[in-house]
């Protein structure tokens, strides 16, 4: 990118923002859910009263984690969660290594090779292509994009057109506000909305307005829309902080529908409506305001020079209502697994196969799996005996002989090397539903390799060398996301297993691993009459004239997710196994670490004793005698209206209020789904006429 002795990268490589219905925001967590916070003086596994990672960060601070009262604004609205992007410089000689331990943050005022940074020009481009994309096939997942399944690849919203590349169709169905640029020294917000012009930072770090950019929002193409929570007129905004870092904020969790000829909205349907087509993942006629897209930056020096920076990607996703509950399989685990096995990230771990001589590090490679298992009890209704067993898993420490632990032999870990195991439920773990076409979730092949080495006693008990701060940020952000069930999931889905999703020249280019293979977007070519964005990346489908899939445009990650996200979020509390050839009626959890199913309510804790287990989604509209329908809204429109009322499960030490809760407890707070409590007499009338 330049002759500099350093390379410059934005971290995290993939940043996660989350929707909220408040104008206010918090910053997305940069520590790992359920795990000790680096520098807090806590060894892996010892909670020691410390608040564990995963909580969002208080705006205006470097890393102060919020407490319960900061989850909502004063009106009770759910704060959005910003993805914070930072720039790091690496010595060129370290740029081709992963876990180099290198990396120094560059902010406004930093001196880089003798030049002071005066400003940073950021450009981001969020879009939402969900309505124009292919149906998420629940039977095949990623495989539906293989040539062999061409006949099963069906578009969403066929009524708007059956040619995926048709410009009119793309214009109608893609929400594209265009790019927006912002300076690190700016103090206001730049919005991805209808009323402001698109803009981008050019190679000279000048911000160019694109007045002719073909912005498109649903009401531009559809004169009549059903907008139960307001029109979608924004996908979010950009802000910068005092150091010039970028904050990407997403939408407000809105969803809207085209209307049928009779003027009614498209019905929100539950369940299968065709082979592989689950309606609540692919709701016909609906839009939401999630999105994703590239993030670019250019350093501007006081001497007028500029320095380009390797870009990143922002994803705007559903809220995470249990931010400190660690998934057993995280999005990081999936992406790391792909990079280890397919992209030569760590040759010492995997060459053509896993290397038997490799010793994983307990703290980094094993303890998170054990801790995650022990935390699942806080968002599920595990029976007491299982809680005891999960607690025993969580107590495993580096100094323990694996043979002395409950996981000796890996007797209860579902082996991902054996595809048939994905059909076997209890006692094999994780006890969660699996990706599309798989009944149960398995740890990744890399996780299983690490566990196998541990079981043989081949592991490092001492801490691993620390990654660089940017490298750690890449990991931490993704650790806080779901790594399965990818049917489709909550932030990113099965496409993370496609090596073509990523930029593979990371060593030579210095871009670093985990970067999305972004399309080069020439905004000077934007024409008001033509949609700027195309069908874009389709796994295993070579781009025109190419041999690999098209590089990614804005919207090419979130388009694989549910539309609207709300309905799948509502439905995916628990499921029967799928496939389910034996017609088992037993229900299993989908994403309990993010979409809590069963919770203990903080205000029902008495003298340190937990109250009853309650559904996270409860109250009017959720009652059912059938457990497969309980704990969710029966009418999907209710989740569109009330998703922001769901409570959060957080650690006792982060809960404000009069009661002091043990840090060992993870309790629900800030739910607005409860019916009002009836307090003891005396009660009072509102006026004297009552």
Partner 1 sequence: MAIGAPGGRPEWDLNALWSHLQGVTDLELWTIPFYLTAMYSIKDPSQDAYQLIQSIVYQEMLHAQLACNIANAYGYSPTFTAPVYEGDDIPHIRFALDVPNPTQTFRPYSAELGPLDERRINAMCLIEYPEWDTERTPNLRMRREEYGSIGEFYAAVRAGMAELRHHVRGGVKQADHFQFFYQGLKNPTITRDGNEGYRQAVTLIDVITDQGEGQTRGDADVPAEFQNTADGFHESWPHFRKFLYIRTLGALPETFSGEAEPPPGSPGGQAQQRLIQDFGRFLRTLDALFSGGHPEDFGPLMAKLGGDILTCWQNGAIPRFS
Which residues would be at the binding site for partner 1 (CB under 8 A)?
383-389, 391-392, 403-412, 415, 418, 420-421, 423-428, 455, 585-586
Q: Between 93 and 391, whose beta carbon lies closer to partner 1?
A: 391
Nearer to partner 1, 259 or 386 (CB): 386
Enter the tokens of residue 688: 């004297």
For 238, phi and psi rounded to 5 degrees? -110, 145
The Cα 618–Cα 80 span in angstroms is 23
Q: For residues 428 and 448, which CB has a smaller minimum distance to partner 1 in the complex?
A: 428
The smaller minimum CB distance to partner 1, of residues 410 and 641, is found at: 410
Closer residue to partner 1 (CB): 433 or 534: 433
CB of 586 to partner 1, least distance (A): 5
Is 310 strand, coil or helix? strand
Which helix (H) or strand (E) segment is 393 a member of?
helix 384-394
Backbone torsions φ then ψ of 342, nearest 5 degrees:
-110, -20
* Helix, coil or strand: residue 26: strand
Query: For every residue of 616-630, which 3-state class applies, written as one string?
Result: CCCCCCCCCCCCCCC
Between 243 and 423, name the residue whose CB sits nearer to partner 1: 423
Q: What's the min distance (Å) between Cβ of 441 and partner 1?
A: 15
Residue of 8, 9, 26 whose CA lies nearest to 17 = 26
Q: Which is nearer to partner 1, 530 or 628 (CB)?
A: 628
Residue 480 and residue 184: Cα distance in Å, rounded? Answer: 27
Residue placing its CB nearer to partner 1 in the complex, 404 or 686: 404
- Please measure the distance between the N-terminal and C-terminal CA atoms of the chain and give it in whole angstroms: 75
Rounded Cα distance between 646 and 135, Å, is 28
CB 436 within 8 A of CB 494: yes
Min separation Cβ 418 and partner 1, Å: 6
3-state secondary structure of 339: helix
Q: Which is nearer to partner 1, 402 or 489 (CB)?
A: 402
Count CB neighbours of 211 within 10 A: 9
Output 116 or 585, the one with its CB closest to partner 1. 585
Burial of 221 (0-12, 13-18, 19+ CB in 10 A): middle
Nearer to partner 1, 147 or 582 (CB): 582
**How far, in Å, CA of 283 to CA of 639, rounded?**
14
- Report in angstroms how near the CB of residue 484 gets to partner 1 at its nearest: 19
Nearest approach in angstroms of CB 308 to partner 1 is 51
Q: How far is the CB of 388 from partner 1 (least distance, A)?
A: 4
**Farthest-apart Cα atoms in the chain, separation:** 82
Q: CB under 8 Å to 613, separation ≥6 — which residues? A: 381, 598, 599, 600
Question: Could you tell me the smallest distance in angstroms from the CB atom of residue 384 to partner 1?
Answer: 7
Task: Summarize the chain as % helix, strand, coil (round to 5).
Answer: 20, 25, 55
CB of 382 to partner 1, least distance (A): 10
**Cβ 139 vs Cβ 436: under 8 Å:** yes
Cα–Cα distance, 438 to 419 (Å, whole number): 9
- What's the closest the beta carbon of residue 331 comes to partner 1, in angstroms? 27
Give the chain's radius of gyration (CA, Å): 24
The distance of closest approach from Cβ of residue 437 to partner 1 in the complex, given in angstroms and rounded to an integer, is 16
**Nearest distance in Å: CB 419, partner 1:** 9
Nearest to 107 by CA among 303, 12, 246, 200: 246
CA–CA separation, 561 vs 493, rounded Å? 7
Please report how close the Cβ of residue 630 comes to partner 1 at its closest, in angstroms.
Answer: 16
Nearest-approach distance from CB 400 to partner 1, in angstroms:
12
Q: Rounded CA gap, 402 and 609, in Å?
A: 32
Residue with the two structure tokens 């208080």: 58
Cβ proximity to partner 1: between 4 and 405 the closer is: 405
Q: Which is nearer to partner 1, 284 or 435 (CB)?
A: 435
The least CB distance from residue 406 to partner 1, in Å, is 5
Nearer to partner 1, 394 or 647 (CB): 394
Residue 613's CB is within 10 A of a number of other CB atoms, namely: 14
Long-range contacts from 142-145, C-beta under 8 angstroms, 24+ separation: 142/436, 142/494, 142/495, 142/497, 142/498, 142/539, 143/437, 144/276, 145/538, 145/539, 145/540, 145/541
């Amino acid at each position: 990118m330049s002759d500099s002795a350093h390379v410059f990268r934005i971290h995290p490589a993939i940043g996660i923002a989350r929707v909220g219905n408040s104008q206010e925001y918090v910053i997305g967590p940069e520590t790992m859910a359920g795990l000790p916070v680096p520098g807090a003086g806590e060894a892996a596994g010892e909670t020691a009263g410390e608040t564990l990672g995963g909580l969002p960060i208080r705006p205006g601070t470097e890393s102060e984690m919020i407490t319960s009262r900061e989850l909502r604004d004063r009106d009770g609205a759910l704060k959005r969660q910003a993805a914070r992007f930072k720039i790091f410089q690496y010595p060129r000689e370290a740029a081709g290594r992963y876990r180099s331990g290198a990396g120094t943050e560059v902010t406004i005022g930093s001196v880089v090779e003798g030049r002071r940074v005066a400003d940073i020009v950021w450009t981001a481009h969020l879009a939402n292509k969900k309505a124009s994309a292919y149906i998420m096939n629940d039977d095949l997942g990623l495989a539906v994009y293989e040539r062999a399944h061409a006949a099963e690849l069906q578009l969403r919203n066929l009524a708007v057109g059956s040619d995926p590349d048709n410009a009119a169709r793309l214009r109608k169905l893609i929400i594209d506000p265009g790019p927006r640029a912002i300076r690190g020294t700016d103090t206001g917000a730049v919005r991805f909305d209808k009323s402001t012009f698109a803009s981008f930072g050019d190679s000279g770090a000048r911000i160019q307005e694109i007045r002719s950019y073909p912005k498109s929002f649903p009401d531009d193409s559809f004169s009549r829309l059903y907008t139960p929570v307001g029109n979608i007129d924004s996908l979010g905004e950009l802000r910068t902080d005092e150091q010039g870092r970028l904050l990407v904020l997403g939408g407000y969790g809105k969803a809207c529908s085209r209307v049928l000829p009779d003027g009614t909205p498209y019905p929100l349907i539950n369940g299968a409506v065709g082979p592989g087509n689950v309606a609540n993942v692919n709701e016909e006629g609906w839009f939401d305001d999630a999105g994703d897209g590239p993030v670019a930056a250019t350093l501007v020096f006081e001497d007028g020079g500029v320095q380009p920076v390797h870009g990143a990607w922002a994803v705007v996703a559903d809220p995470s209502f249990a931010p400190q509950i660690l998934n057993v399989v995280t999005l990081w685990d999936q992406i790391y697994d792909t990079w280890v096995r397919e992209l030569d990230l760590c040759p010492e771990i995997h060459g053509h196969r896993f290397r038997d001589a490799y010793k994983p590090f307990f703290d980094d490679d094993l303890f998170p799996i054990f801790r995650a298992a022990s935390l699942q009890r806080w968002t599920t209704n595990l029976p007491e005996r299982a809680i005891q067993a999960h607690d025993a898993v969580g107590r495993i420490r580096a100094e323990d002989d694996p043979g002395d632990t409950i996981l000796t032999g890996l007797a209860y870990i579902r082996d991902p090397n054996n595809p048939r195991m994905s059909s076997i439920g209890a006692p094999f773990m994780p006890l969660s539903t699996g990706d599309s076409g798989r009944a149960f979730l398995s740890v990744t092949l890399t996780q299983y390799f690490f566990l196998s080495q541990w079981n043989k006693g081949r592991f490092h008990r001492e801490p691993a060398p620390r990654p660089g701060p940017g490298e750690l940020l890449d990991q931490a952000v993704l650790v806080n996301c779901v790594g399965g069930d990818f049917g489709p999931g909550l932030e990113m889905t099965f496409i993370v297993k496609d090596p073509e999703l990523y930029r593979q020249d990371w060593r030579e280019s210095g871009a670093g691993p985990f970067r999305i293979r972004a399309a080069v977007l020439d905004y000077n070519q934007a024409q008001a009459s033509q949609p700027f964005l195309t069908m874009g990346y389709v796994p295993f489908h070579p781009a025109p004239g190419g041999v690999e899939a098209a590089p990614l445009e804005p919207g090419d990650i979130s388009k694989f997710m549910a539309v609207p996200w709300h309905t799948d979020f509502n439905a995916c509390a628990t499921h029967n196994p799928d496939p389910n050839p034996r017609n088992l009626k037993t229900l299993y959890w989908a994403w309990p670490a993010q979409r809590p199913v069963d919770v203990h309510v903080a205000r029902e804790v008495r003298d340190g004793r937990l109250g009853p287990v309650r559904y996270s989604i409860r109250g009017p509209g959720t009652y059912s005698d059938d457990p497969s329908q309980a704990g969710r809204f029966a009418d999907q429109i209710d989740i569109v209206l009330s998703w922001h009322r769901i409570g959060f499960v957080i650690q006792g030490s982060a809960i404000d209020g009069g009661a002091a809760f043990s840090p060992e407890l993870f309790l629900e707070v800030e739910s607005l789904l409860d019916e009002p409590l009836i307090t003891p007499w005396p009660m009072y009338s509102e006026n004297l006429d009552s």
